Amino acid sequence: MIFELNQRLRADTFEVAVLDLSLLLLMNDKTAPWLILVPQRQEIKEMHHLDKNDLAMLAEEITLVSCLVEKVFVPDKINVASLGNIVPQLHIHIVGRFKNDRAWPGPVWGASGAEPYDATEAARLIERLKSELKI
C-alpha cells in the first residue's frame, strides 16, 4: 500500500527529511523545537503494531532526532510521545522543552500560544537541521 501523509500533519508541518523508515517533519510552531517522525506504514496506528524490524528502526530514528534536538536547541527536557487521539496516522512527537516555554511544565499538546514561523525562519531552520543530519 502506498504511503500518504495525513492531511492534517501535512498542513501543520514542513518536511525536513525522508529517513529510512520515517518522514521527519518540523511542526510549524516557533515557540518550541518540535519535530515529528511519521513511519511510512500506511495503516499502522499504534507503535506496538509495527513489526519488530520497523520498531527497531523507529527506536533508532527517535534516538537520532532526540540527539539532533538536544544538540541544536539545548533544551531543558525532551518530550517524546505517540498520542494520535486527533490524527490517527502513527506519528511520534519529539519536542524540546524549556522551563520558560509557553506550556511548561504541562504538555504542549492542546496548550494555547502556538505561533507559525515566517518563511525565511523556517527555511533557515530546516537547512540547519538537514546540515546536522548530514542530509
Q: List interacting residues with a copy of itself (CB under 8 A).
A: 45-48, 55-56, 59, 62-63, 66-67, 70, 77-86, 97, 104-107, 109-110
Minimum CB distance to a copy of itself, residue 59 (Å) = 5
Three-state DSSP at 37 gives strand
Q: Which is nearer to a copy of itself, 31 or 66 (CB)?
A: 66
Minimum CB distance to a copy of itself, residue 126 (Å) = 22
Minimum CB distance to a copy of itself, residue 57 (Å) = 11
Distance CA 62, CA 94 (A): 8
Distance CA 21, CA 52 (A): 13
Q: Chain-centre distance of CA 57, in angstroms?
A: 15
Q: Which is nearer to a copy of itself, 38 or 62 (CB)?
A: 62
If you search the block for the grid coordinates 534536538, which residue do you land on?
Answer: 69
